[in-house]
Structure formats: structure tokens, C-alpha cells
Amino acid sequence: MQIGKKLKVAVLLPLFCLCFVLNGCMLTGAVQSTALDSRAVVRLIYLEYAGEEYRALTAVCDFTKTGEEVSTAAFMQHAQGSSPEQALLSAAQQRGGRAFFAQNQLLLIGPQLAEQKLAEVLQYFAQDHGAYRDPAVWLWYGGEDALKELEDPMDFLQRAESFTADDPLGCVSYVLEYEPDKAAILPVLELKEEDAPVMQVGGLAVAEPGELRLYRDRTVLQGCGLLRGRQSAQLLTPEYDGAVRTVQLEGLRRSFSVQNGRLRLTIEGSGSVSVQLDESAREQLRQTVQQTLADQCLRAWSALTLKGEEDLFSLDWWIRQLGADSGLQPEFTARIRMT
Amino acid sequence: MRKETQASHTALLCVCGLSQLVIGTAQPSGLPAGVLILLFALSTLVQAGMFRMLHGRRLLASRFFLWLFAVLLLFAVGYDVVRADRFYRAVTSESFSFQWLMVSMLLLGWYASRCGRDTLLRAAQPVLALLLISLAVLGVRGNYRLEGLLFVQPDSSLLPDAARAFLEFTFGAELLIWLYWQECPVSAAAADKNISAQTARIDPAKTAGWPALLWLRSAVASCCALLGELALGARAQQQPQLFGALSLISAGADSGHGGVMYHCVWLAALTLRVCALCCTLFELEKMLFRQKKTPVYFLVLMLPAAAAAVFWAALWRQNCQSWLAGAVLVLAAGIMFFVKRGGRNCANRKKA
């Protein structure tokens, strides 16, 4: 009995401890995993559909460490495949290393893909999320070559990422926000090269199976941000009394109500003018601003929901919630407090 | 049961229940939140009824019930191991074989069962605190839209999914172990050979808080379903790992850590759940075989649990949910049958 106990303590206990430590190492990936700097870290994905095949282009980052500083460089790699996954993986792993998608924040989509296979691709990214972070979706008209021929891909990448994060017009959508079986609003990303490369939203496209409608009107862009409740600030320059005034609008938000059985969407917020105005002029300016905001909403709504039937802004929810009459056509107003 | 033991038992129970919610199943629920909430309420009614039937019975006196209990727990352990594997796969890009995960979780379960229930009870409160904090942070940081909520349109095509969700929620393994803890409160007692002779009946006074606990469970589950739909809209019902997706979004907003903190806490909670199940299973087996510590227990506990895990894994790969539903229904019917029989035996013994 005594010997048995000693044996237990001397042999079995260290053995089990070893087992647990080994298991811990396996579980945390300390044994099998590859370090991040020897993996293909994908930071941008471009997908296009051509000739029954998916074409993928990925920006893969390389890290080089010199002393304390870590410098990163991006390489554009492209490949084709019969499924999005196949194309993506072979593009990312072209130069060796296992692909790592968890830092990817951008998904650029080509026009052909948006027209024909958008639902499949969004479904793939939404479901097969093995460490995909929910990336922002942009429509990219520049094509594969424009991305391949970039002089400084890393610079493009950083600009695109910070532009997406800033989201000045409130039009960026992420993969998981797109609802299945619904037309999708895709913002268009453009690179404008004047003095320095500048990112901008080139328009909005509504993608339905077999159809892609593009709107480049800036009013539509601004209205879309307002309708989705994502745009909280705007700079308006209405002309009043022979002079152009600059009105800074802040704290913009939507509120819903029912008026005569019809849904009414009101944009509320506050505005400030840089110059001193008397009471009546201020009031008139306020009216102008309100009219402009309501117009933006109406323009965006009537342009994007072409037949007035698609419910791209989830207005249907509010109609049912507030018990308005059916039929989507809402009424747009604005209520601005001038300070 | 002393008061603090009752509290720590409740904490362990909460960890078990919450970890089941947070670590999703292999199949997306396929149901809008409204339907899920209705199902949860319905299932709580059924559970409350079931617990009412159990009042005043001596379950542990029936050997057959012990066996049934053990088999159910065995399947629950296997199920949880497979779920841990799915979760792990969904949130990381590390390749990690199912066998290793199974072996390590079962080893841990075995270790926990040697440590005893008291150790688990002590571990439960910090894990519960972490779990609640992680859920609170997730609840605060998500980007929720009221428009995400769907209007429920009952449809016969929802029935298979609804049946699965109902069964899964009604017969949660944590309820089984709760039942067992009520009857056999002190783990030291379980080491005794004659445990079944000592166990008390389920005392109505002691179980007064059960319905409240059950309703709390269903309320928390409903909140989770709502949270998912508020954040993801119709995409929520397509997510096999709803909370995994939520954590990726919530963490992805500003920092690059990819929700690892959430995943660590949730996996710890799931591990504690597996440990609690294994521990209970071990105590049951001691009663069944009426022996004290021998290495045989190790095999007795681990091999069937591994077999159960492989069974679930195989089942899910073939995607045959009706199979699962059928098996659970038969088991449930079995429980009810033996509860009745046990009650009758009890009454007969009293007369004699």
C-alpha cells in the first residue's frame, strides 16, 4: 500500500502534469501554429467574376524587422478558381505561407460579380467565418489591373482602411449587415489622383441578381447616409441673400412618426452659421437647410428604390411598428435647431 | 444544503447554462428571435411541469434511473466536446485535430472528477463573474439596430428547426445535474457506498425556487436571441456560431485582437461545464459500481464519453437532425417512465 502511494506521487503525478502541459500547448497553438510573420497576412481582397470563374486579388503583407522598427510591405497576388474560397486561398498563398484572414477589413467587389454572384459571395463571407473579420464591402470599378499596378500598395491599403473607418458619408456597409434575399446597396470606392492620391466615394450602386444600377449624384449619397441614420454631421453651403453661407450641421438623426396614416421620417439635429444673422434671416436660412435635407432624403429614396417597392432602408419595419398604411412611399421632413 | 453551498451550486449551474448559450451548436438555429422566445417559454412550462412531477420522489434509489442518468450525462459530455471543437474551429484559423481536443477535454474532466465537486464550486464564481462581464461588454459595444428585428410569420417549414431547438433547450444537461445536486448535495457523501440509501426525497420546500430559476434561464436565452437579431438581422439565424460572429464584430470595431478575450472566457466556461458533467458522471458511476477508487473508473468514464463525442461528431457531419431529435425523445420518454415506476416502487415500499 505504501509503495503504491509513493509510486503514484513519484510517477503518475509528473506524468499527468506533463500531459496537461502538452495539451495546453496543443490547444493554444504553441505546437502546430505558424507565427504571424511567416504567414500570408491578407489585408485586402478583391473579387471578380469572369467567364464562369472567380478571380481573386489579395494584398498580402510582409513584415521585416530591422532592430526595433517593423516595416510592412504589401504585395498584390492574384489567382483564379471555381469558387470564391479556392480563388482566395490560392491567391493568398501564392508566395508560400498559410493564409491569415483575421486582419482583413476590406472586400472590394468587381461589377460583374456584383451583378451575378453577389449573394453567393456575401453568404460565403458571412457564414464561413473561420476568423474572417466582418469586412467592409466596396464596389471597385478600377479593375484588377489598376490594383496590380499600384506604385505603393501599402499606402493605398492604409488610405482605404482609414477612409473606411472614417466613413464620412455614412455609406459603408459590412458583410454581416447585408440581409439575404434583399437588394444590396454597394458604395463605390474611387482613387482620385490629383496632387496626392485621395480616396472618395464615387457613388452608390444597387445590386440585384442580374442587375446593377449605379448612381453618382452627390445628393443621393448624402441622402442615403441620412436615411440609414449613419450620417451625423454635414456641411451645407446654401445660397441666401446673394451670399453663400456655410452651415455646419451636427447631431443629425432620424425619427419616425405617422402622419395621416403615412410614415414620416424626420431628420433632427442642430446647425450653426459662422456669420452673425438677424432673427428673420436666421429663420429663412433654417427653412432652406431643412428643405435641402428633406430633398436629399427624397432624392436618395426615389433614386435607389427605383420602383418604390424595394425596402432598402428597412422602412417596412417602422411602417409595421407604427401601424402606418401599407405602401412604402414615406414623407420626408427635417427639423433643425439653429444656434 | 448550507446556504453558501446553495449559492455556489447556483453559480456553477449558471456557468453551465450560459456556456451552453454562448457556445453555439453546429447548426444555425434557422429561427427568428420571436419564434425562439416562444419556444423558450413553452419549454420552460414543460420543464416546470416535469419538476413538479419529481417532487417527493427518490430518484437515486432506483438503479435503472441511475443508469439512465449516467447515459444521458455521457451523451451530454460528448455533445459539449464536439461543440467546443466547432467553436474553436469557427473563431480561430488554427488547425487543431478533433481527437486532441477530445482527449484534452476528457482528461481535464477526469482530473476535475478526481478533485471533486467542491473544487468546481470554488471555481464557479470567478468564471461566472468573467462570463457576465464579457456578456455585458458585448451587449454594450455591439452596433444594434431596431430594424434588425424580424416580424414573425409562423410557417410549417420552421417545424424541424423548432423541434430541435425545443428539445435542446428543454433537456439541457445542466438541469439534470442540478436535479442530482439537489438530491445529493455534498460531494463527500457521493464517495460513500450507501449513498442511495441515504438520499433524501426531493423536498418541495427546497425546490420552491426552481420555477424562478427556470424562467430566469429562459429569459436569458431570449435576451441572447434578441441581441443576435438586433445586431445581425436576418443573418442571425444563419450563423452556426452566433456569439462567435458577434464577438468578431464587437472586437473588430476598433482593436485588432479579434475577440480573443471573449473566446477565452467562453471556452473556460464550457470547460467548467464539461468538468461539472464529468464530475457528476463520476459520482454516479461510483454509486453504480459500489467501489472506491480504482483505475477502472478512468476507462469506465472516458471510453464511453469519447464514444459519445465521436457519435455526435459523426451525426453532425451527416446532418441528420431528425435522428438526434428521435434519440432525445426516446430518452425523455424513458426518463418519464422510470420516474413513474420509481414513484410506484416507493409507494409500495411504504405500504410494506
Residues on chain A touching B95 (C-beta within 8 angstroms) = 32
Closest CA to A159 of A47, A36, A44, A40: A44
Domain residue extents for chain A? 36-216, 219-338
Residue B207, min C-alpha distance to chain A (Å): 39
Separation between Cα atoms, residue B131 and residue B14, nearest integer Å: 10
Per DSSP, the three-state class of B257 is coil
Separation between Cα atoms, residue A215 and residue A217, nearest integer Å: 6
Percent of chain B at pLDDT exceeding 90: 7
Q: Are A38 and A98 in contact (CB under 8 A)?
A: no
CB–CB contact B233 A177 (8 Å)? yes
Q: Which pLDDT does position A108 carry in this prediction?
A: 93
Least CA distance to A162: which residue of chain B? Answer: B254
What CATH code would you report for A219-338? 3.30.300.210
Residues on chain A touching B104 (C-beta within 8 angstroms) = 23-24, 26-27
Which of B88, B94, B149 is the best residue to mutate to test the A interface, defined by the most A CB atoms within 10 Å of its own CB? B94
CB–CB contact A20 B111 (8 Å)? yes
CB–CB contact A23 B100 (8 Å)? yes
CB–CB contact B258 A26 (8 Å)? no
Residue B337, min C-alpha distance to chain A (Å): 42
Least CA distance to B91: which residue of chain A? Answer: A131
Domain range spanning residue B86?
Answer: 3-351
Q: Which pLDDT does position B45 carry in this prediction?
A: 92
Q: Which pLDDT does position A110 carry in this prediction?
A: 93
Residues on chain B touching A1 (C-beta within 8 angstroms) = none
CB–CB contact A100 B249 (8 Å)? no
Q: Which of A23, A317, A320 sits opposite B104 (nearest CB)?
A: A23
Q: Which of A23, A133, A180 sits opposite B235 (nearest CB)?
A: A180
CB–CB contact A131 B240 (8 Å)? no
Separation between Cα atoms, residue B303 and residue B310, nearest integer Å: 11
Q: Which pLDDT does position B127 carry in this prediction?
A: 92
Q: Are B53 and B339 in contact (CB under 8 A)?
A: yes
Which of A13, A21, A129, A254 is the best residue to mutate to test the B interface, defined by the most B CB atoms within 10 Å of its own CB? A129
Which of A39, A106, A134, A320 is the best residue to mutate to test the B interface, defined by the most B CB atoms within 10 Å of its own CB? A134
Residues on chain A touching B248 (C-beta within 8 angstroms) = 129, 131-134
Q: Which pLDDT does position B348 carry in this prediction?
A: 46
Separation between Cα atoms, residue B292 and residue B109, nearest integer Å: 18
Closest CA to B278 of B140, B120, B131: B120
Q: Which of A16, A29, A126 sits opposite B235 (nearest CB)?
A: A126
Which residue ranges of chain B lie beneath pLDDT 50?
1, 187-191, 193, 197, 253, 318-322, 340-352
CA B48 remoteness from chain centre: 17
Q: Which of A24, A134, A179 sits opposite B249 (nearest CB)?
A: A134
Residue A204, min C-alpha distance to chain B (Å): 21
Residue type, A334: A
Q: Are A185 and A205 in contact (CB under 8 A)?
A: yes
Question: What CATH number is associated with residue B232?
Answer: 1.20.1740.10
Which residue ranges of chain A lie beneath pLDDT 70?
1-4, 7-9, 12-13, 16, 19-20, 22-35, 128-131, 308, 326-328
Residues on chain A touching B249 (C-beta within 8 angstroms) = 134, 174, 176
Q: Which residues of B lie inside 8 Å of A (Cβ-Cβ)?
A: 89-96, 100-101, 103-104, 107-108, 111, 145-147, 149, 151, 231-235, 238-241, 244-245, 248-249, 252, 256, 258
Q: How confident is the model over A130-154, as pLDDT tens digits? A: 567 788 999 999 888 888 888 888 8
Residues on chain B touching A132 (C-beta within 8 angstroms) = 248
Q: Which of B89, B103, B147 sits opposite A130 (nearest CB)?
A: B89
Closest CA to B270 of B280, B262, B282, B259: B262
Q: Which of A26, A123, A176 sits opposite B249 (nearest CB)?
A: A176
Number of domain units in chain B: 1
CB–CB contact B249 A26 (8 Å)? no
Q: Are B98 and B314 in contact (CB under 8 A)?
A: no
User: What's the CA dihedral at A85, A90, A95, A98 to 10 degrees?
Assistant: 40
Separation between Cα atoms, residue B221 and residue B67, nearest integer Å: 30
Q: Are strands A173-174 and A136-140 parallel, antiparallel or unpaired?
A: antiparallel
Q: Are A125 and B239 in contact (CB under 8 A)?
A: no
Percent of chain A at pLDDT exceeding 70: 88
CB–CB contact A32 B93 (8 Å)? no
Separation between Cα atoms, residue A92 and residue A40, nearest integer Å: 6
Q: What b/e readout covers B43-59, taking b as 16+ CB neighbours within 10 angstroms? A: bbeebeebbeebeebbb
DSSP calls for A27-48: HTTTTT---GGGSEEEEEEEEE
Residues on chain A touching B252 (C-beta within 8 angstroms) = 105, 133-134
DSSP calls for B86-145: HHHHHH------HHHHHHHHHHHHHHHHHH-HHHHHHHHHHHHHHHHHHHHHHHHHS---
What's chain A's Rg over C-alpha atoms? 27
Residue B250, min C-alpha distance to chain A (Å): 10
Please give the DSSP secondary-structure letter assigned to residue A292: H
Predicted structure pTM score? 0.79
